[in-house]
Amino acid sequence: MALPRVVVTGIGALTPIGNTAEEFWKNLCSGESGAGPITHFDASKFKTQFACEVKDFVPTDFIEKREVRRMDPYAQYAVVAADEAIKDASLEDIDPDRVGVIWAAGIGGLITFHNEVMNFANGDGTPRFNPFFIPKMIPDIAAGMISMRHGFRGPNLATVSACASSTHAISMAFDQIRLGKADVMVTGGSEAAVSVPGIGGFNAMKALSERNDSPKTASRPFDAERDGFVLGEGAAGLILESLEHAQARGAKIYAEIVGTGLTADAHHITAPHPEGLGAKNVMLMALKEAKMQPEDIDYINVHGTSTPLGDIAEIKAIKAVFGESAYNLNISSTKSMTGHLLGAAGAIEALAIVKSVQEDIVPPTINHFTDDPNIDEKLNLTFNKAQKRSVKAALSNTFGFGGHNASLIVRKY
């Protein structure tokens, strides 16, 4: 039985480099960095004092004040990005029972959790907790809120797989449509971990860059002097729809999703497999599902976090999968501009490859200063400047702590 084709008919974003999908894409192609000193809290005593924060965001511009008080920032970001995508897709006069939501968060309401615990610790020992503490904190509440806000009664859940979370969400949404369980899916991810425990926890792991003297150049994937990732925050949403349903209502189509891959490293709680085994397998799985050959891919938006081990392992995996075709690819890490949005990373990077195939532009890997002798210099890593080229198909990789790997392939419609 032929499975339905699935297309992208709406996009939305709230990111460190743009508060709409259009602004995000424009600044991505311009090579803008979203990094700067942390404003959400006093970070002066932390080893890392900068991050890629969402800027000029006033939640009450989008959400009623009463509702804002009941939502952690990660859920606020989710609702705003999803609202934009839903509006962009013009989802009027459709059967709400056939519209689902699968939304991801790697952590969920970390800011809420921290605030409530601190309030208790600083009190007199009496357990006074906000009655919304639990629903504000849990990582599935964003999916529930999006469905309630729009009356969507189809499949509804969250995916949690660290930095692979929202690629997993998109993959599952893709399958819901192909299996006939929904006609339309709202999917994506959000994260708001620029906080005391977020920065403190990743500092303790020695995962973050400590380049406090130059935040905008701190995220430097594939550079010989990279020293860790830059924490980001925000959200991105996509509307997935069966091609038949989209055509019947005359929807605009950005791109077609054709393949996904899901694997595990089964190696280490935080470090990647040194030879990129899980990463290699996940790309092969996505290619197989898409019925494509390595030479059919024009662009890879890599996980590319700017960590010493991760960047090299991913390049090894790409060379193992693509062979000589690797030298015909454009490869770039947009985390060099957005920072690492953890559970939302896959969603904003999916949005990036959707726009790339639509507009035939590859956004750059900024902040390249020094070649790494361990990385093949013949690869086109799209350093420092966007490149125009025909992008018929693009692949995005996301890898999470715990060894979770997910890949997504989109192509021109």
Catalytic site positions: 163, 303, 340
How far is CA 18 from its chain centroid?
Answer: 14
Say if residues 103 and 142 touch (Cβ distance below 8 Å). Answer: yes
69 CB neighbour count, 10 Å cutoff = 12
C-alpha angle 126-127-130 in degrees, rounded to nearest 5: 130
Q: Where are the beta strands (DSSP E) in 128-216?
A: 156-159, 184-191
Say if residues 194 and 200 touch (Cβ distance below 8 Å). Answer: no
Answer positive or negative: Cα dihedral of 350, 235, 142, 402: positive
**Which of 241, 296, 295 has its CA nearest to residue 412?**
296
Exposed / middle / buried, residue 193 (Cβ in 10 Å: 0-12, 13-18, 19+): buried
- Strand 404-411 relative to strand 393-400: parallel, antiparallel, unpaired? antiparallel
Say if residues 232 and 225 touch (Cβ distance below 8 Å). Answer: no
| Residue 352 one-letter amino acid | A
**Which of 355, 362, 364 has its CA nearest to residue 333?**
364
What is d(CA 353, CA 361) in angstroms, rounded to the nearest whole number? 9
Say if residues 357 and 210 touch (Cβ distance below 8 Å). Answer: no
CB within 8 Å of 187: residues ≥ 6 apart: 101, 102, 103, 166, 169, 170, 172, 173, 237, 238, 239, 240, 347
What is d(CA 261, CA 15) in angstroms, rounded to the nearest whole number? 25
> What does R_g of the chain's alpha carbons equal in angstroms?
20
